[in-house]
Amino acid sequence: MKRCILFLLCSLILGADQGLHSAVRAGDIDKVKALIEAGVSVKERDNLGGTPLHDAAWGGHKEIAVLLLDKGAEVDAPHMDINAAHTESGSTPLHYAILTNHLDMVELLASRGADLKRRHRVGSTALHLAASRGHKEIVQFLLANKVEVDAEDGSGATALDEAAWKGHTAVVELLLKAGANPKHRIKDTKITPLHEAATRGFLEVAQLLIVAGAEVDAKDQGGSTPLDEALRQRHTLVVDYLMGKGAKIAGGDARGAARQMEDAVLKGQTEVVQLLLERKMDPDAPTANGSTLIHDACLKGHIGIAELLLAAGASANALNANGATPLHDAALAGQLAVAQLLLERGADIHALDRDSKATPLHYAASWGREEMVSLLLKKGGDRTRKNKAGKTAGELARAAGYDGIAELLK
């Protein structure tokens, strides 16, 4: 019987404690007062390890927070370590107020002695939290209270890194005015805030960083510059801006620049290719696989890029490492629109590759490209021409099992 009574009393006390948390979360100050007067502790933890002051800070209930602090709540009480799996384990009420953008709560807690230098999870400072979420007014408050502007978190990132990565332009501007280092590098990756802005395509942030003195050609651990990252992500406005500020593709390495151009062509990144051509990239540059840019564009069927390359001076009869022309590649891949473009721009329909002495018609027939065969025949392709092995296009089609094409070529 005594055990049952004791259990009931414990349950009532525990229920009252949890009731205080519920009342705080609901913003019910009268109920909060009644529970405190009934003896419920303002320091009691909920089952996630938080205190009532955490709840008040999260909800922005300033009047309740004042009451709790007046009744002895600990201003810097962290979540209990036993709840380390909880997302905000170790957070203080100040961190909660910052996360939820309650400036008046931040000001209150600071006035009651909250530690503005207290670290959050993974070593983040209060400034990291505010900057990463774009909470401009809280950032201003923290800076006015002389927090360290370039403090690093556990990964080596600063508040400026956080703001640049998230594209919070106004916060970036505040941090830079407060003396944040635009050349800061994250210790393991050597990434700068400009890398982050370029990767995410945040032009205004990139502009602020450059004006503040960021290194336009800074290389990260892998050798990539901000321009390289902007190119990979197809952020053409950032690419154009950085190149206008003197940034060099691959930091000025010719082979790296060629790889970037080739990558843009293969991926069909028309706007990037156009920007690079405007910056005097060679339209006839050979690629790493022994081809040329126009060959790659035609093989992939990127007609817009093919038009750009031809307009920039690329030859419609350029030769790759095998002595084949772009029309050979278009024929092999069945890229009709590109083949039509090449023929209009003077591609030689009778061109022979070096190794097999085959024409584009031989390629199309061998690969079963019936529509391409029809186009090439219409444009004057020679069905009687034999390759090095003495085979006509029709014979090649028959041998490969493309009987319909073989009939076309009779």
DSSP-H helix ranges across 167-202: 169-177, 193-200
Tell me which amino acid residue 249 is.
I
Q: What is the pLDDT of residue 13?
A: 43
Q: Is the pLDDT of residue 320 over 90?
A: yes
Q: What is the pLDDT of residue 376?
A: 97
Q: What is the pLDDT of residue 254?
A: 65
Q: What is the pLDDT of residue 5?
A: 37
Residues 74 and 204: their CA atoms lie apart, in Å, by 42
pTM for this model (two decimals): 0.74
Q: Is the pLDDT of residue 8 over 80?
A: no
When pLDDT is cut at 50, 70 and 90, the band that residue 391 belongs to is very high
Q: What is the pLDDT of residue 121?
A: 78
When pLDDT is cut at 50, 70 and 90, the band that residue 146 belongs to is very high
Query: Which residue, 68, 61, 63, is CA-closest to 40?
Result: 68
* Structural domains of the chain sorted by starting position, each given as residue range(s) with its CATH number in brackets: 253-348 (1.25.40.20), 357-410 (1.25.40.20)
Contacts 24+ apart (CB under 8 A), 270-274: 270/302, 270/304, 270/305, 270/308, 271/234, 271/236, 272/231, 272/234, 272/236, 272/239, 273/305, 273/308, 273/309, 274/308
| SS3 (DSSP) at 348 | coil
- Render pLDDT for 369-390 as a digit per residue (tens, 0 to 9): 999 999 999 999 999 999 999 9
Q: Is the pLDDT of residue 9 over 50?
A: no
- Render pLDDT for 175-198 as a digit per residue (tens, 0 to 9): 999 999 999 999 999 999 999 999
Question: Higher model confidence: residue 277 or residue 197?
Answer: 197
Q: Is the pLDDT of residue 230 over 70?
A: yes
| SS3 (DSSP) at 292 | strand
